[in-house]
């Protein structure tokens, strides 16, 4: 099978991953099956014969085995990335000399069909990386090289701009619970650790009125927290804003949903089918709840505070039902909602739906991101929830959470 070597973001061997689930006899004396469990193995010849080198971790140089291997097997359970240069350097800027072997794939890989613009991969492997996530394997960072779209306007957004620089940004929780602030220009800063205890991660503008966007989270004990942003991409000391939230299903920060000018409103659905509004106070804490939906809401698998999708100045709610349909509920500006409209289907495939305000800066809010693995797609709102899809980025891991 011939397969061209393409850029780092699309070079995945997902197709190869479907080919085989090789079972290794314990005492093979030649061929790929010699590779021990838990190891990454390189072989002299394309068919797995000849000398074998085994590794348990990443290698920046390969010493005597530099430019030597013609085939490989990965039994580490980690993602493997091979580079034609030492120190995990990309070979060229057009066809990047990195080759991904998915963690799930433990079969044999003959490197002969793989090449970049300049060289074949066989007998050109000079370093490799073994990492828990695909983008970490490729770029060496726990975060991805995420760029928000730069469509020309620099107007600060009502939400989705955590550091107030006018660029849409992202908060990224890694598989192991670290929190990164991703500026939207491919750079990121770690702003927290230990966040895997949180089962709700939300942001939607400034809750406490200091001009900086704030986060809302729920921990494993059902406590709801506000993490005030410091306006430059970091967090201030958290404030408890609710207890007993365990039984509530989806929790979404809405901005101002009831029209009182305070932007810390939260909407949630319960298992009895009701929809609740917790209006935000001036300091970002919550008023007692008010019921705004009477039945059927238990079937919704996602609620999204999308901002104003129909440009009437009032924030709207987006909900996904159990059949993957996406519904727009136009806010009336009083906490109530008008007649819903279906704005999408097939959204069940997304692990997470994000709203980051006006992601493409065309002046219309309500742009949505759908995060699948490994892709995240951007859906630009053209007005009244009419969505146009763009693929925004690759290499997401199912264990990673953007918000």
8-16, 105-113, 210-218, 257-265 -> range binding Ca ion (CB under 5 A): 210-218
44-52, 142-150, 188-196, 200-208 -> range binding Ca ion (CB under 5 A): 200-208
In degrees, to the nearest 5, what angle opens at C-alpha 395 toward C-alphas 152 and 188?
Answer: 55
21-29, 118-126, 144-152, 354-362 -> range binding Ca ion (CB under 5 A): 354-362
Residue 374 or 385 having the CB closest to Ca ion: 385
Select from 358, 395, 397, 400 the one that contacts Ca ion (CB under 5 A).
358
Alpha-carbon distances, residue 62 vs 11, 45, 86, 87, 110 (angstroms):
22, 16, 8, 10, 19
Residue 42 or 319 having the CB closest to Ca ion: 319
Does 214 interact with Ca ion (rule: CB under 5 A)? yes
Select from 91, 110, 136, 169 the one that contacts Ca ion (CB under 5 A).
169
Alpha-carbon distances, residue 42 vs 68, 75, 80, 90, 351 (angstroms):
9, 11, 12, 20, 35
Give the Cα separation of 320 and 309 in Å (integer). 15
Cβ neighbours for 26, distance < 8 A, ≥ 6 positions apart: none
Select from 260, 287, 362, 377 the one that contacts Ca ion (CB under 5 A).
362
Does 312 interact with Ca ion (rule: CB under 5 A)? yes
Does 314 interact with Ca ion (rule: CB under 5 A)? yes
Evaluate the CA torsion angle 236, 242, 246, 249 in order and state its sign. Answer: negative
Kindly report the length of the chain: 403
Helix (H, G, I), strand (E, B) or coil at 195: helix
> 195 is written with which tokens?
């966040």
Does 163 interact with Ca ion (rule: CB under 5 A)? yes
CB 350, min distance to Ca ion, A = 19
Does 135 interact with Ca ion (rule: CB under 5 A)? no
48-56, 102-110, 362-370, 386-394 -> range binding Ca ion (CB under 5 A): 362-370
Work out the number of other CB atoms within 10 angstroms of the CB of residue 178: 17
CB 396, min distance to Ca ion, A = 20
β partners of residue 276: 268, 291
Which stretches of the chain bind Ca ion, using CB under 5 A? 161, 163, 165, 167, 169, 206, 208, 210, 212, 214, 228, 308, 310, 312, 314, 316, 358, 360, 362, 364, 367
């Amino acid at each position: 099978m011939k397969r061209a070597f393409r850029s780092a973001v699309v070079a995945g061997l997902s197709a190869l991953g479907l080919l085989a689930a090789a079972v290794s006899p314990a005492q093979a004396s030649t061929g790929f099956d010699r590779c021990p469990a838990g190891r990454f193995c390189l072989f002299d010849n394309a068919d797995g014969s000849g000398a074998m080198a085994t590794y348990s971790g990443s290698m920046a140089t390969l010493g005597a085995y530099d430019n030597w291997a013609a085939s490989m097997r990965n039994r580490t359970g980690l993602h493997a990335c091979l580079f034609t240069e030492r120190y995990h350097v990309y070979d060229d800027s057009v066809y990047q000399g990195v080759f991904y072997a998915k963690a799930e794939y433990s079969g044999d890989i003959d490197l002969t069909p793989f090449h970049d613009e300049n060289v074949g991969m066989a007998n050109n492997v000079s370093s490799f990386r073994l990492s828990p996530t695909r983008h970490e394997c490729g770029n060496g960072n726990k975060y991805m090289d995420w760029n928000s779209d730069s469509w020309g306007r620099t107007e600060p957004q009502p939400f989705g701009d955590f550091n107030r620089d006018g660029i849409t940004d992202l908060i990224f929780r890694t598989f192991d619970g670290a929190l990164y602030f991703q500026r939207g220009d491919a750079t990121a800063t770690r702003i927290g650790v230990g966040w895997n205890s949180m089962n709700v991660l939300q942001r939607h503008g400034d809750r406490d009125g200091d001009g900086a966007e704030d986060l809302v989270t729920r921990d494993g004990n059902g406590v709801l927290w506000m993490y005030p942003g410091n306006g430059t991409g970091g967090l201030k000391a958290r404030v408890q804003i609710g207890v007993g939230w365990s039984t509530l299903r989806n929790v979404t920060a809405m901005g101002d949903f009831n029209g009182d000018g305070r932007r810390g409103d939260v909407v949630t659905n319960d298992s009895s089918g009701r929809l609740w509004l917790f209006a935000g106070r001036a300091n970002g804490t919550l008023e007692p709840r008010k019921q705004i939906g009477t039945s059927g809401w238990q079937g919704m698998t996602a609620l999204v505070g999308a901002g104003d999708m129909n440009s009437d100045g009032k924030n709207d709610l987006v909900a996904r039902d159990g059949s993957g349909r996406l519904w727009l509920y136009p806010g009336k500006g009083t906490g109530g909602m008008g007649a819903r409209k279906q704005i999408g289907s097939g959204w069940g495939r997304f692990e997470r739906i994000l709203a980051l305000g006006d992601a493409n800066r065309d002046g219309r809010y309500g742009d949505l991101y759908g995060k699948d693995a490994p892709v995240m797609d951007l859906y630009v709102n053209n007005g009244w929830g009419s969505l146009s899809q763009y693929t925004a980025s690759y290499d997401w891991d199912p264990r990673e959470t953007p918000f």
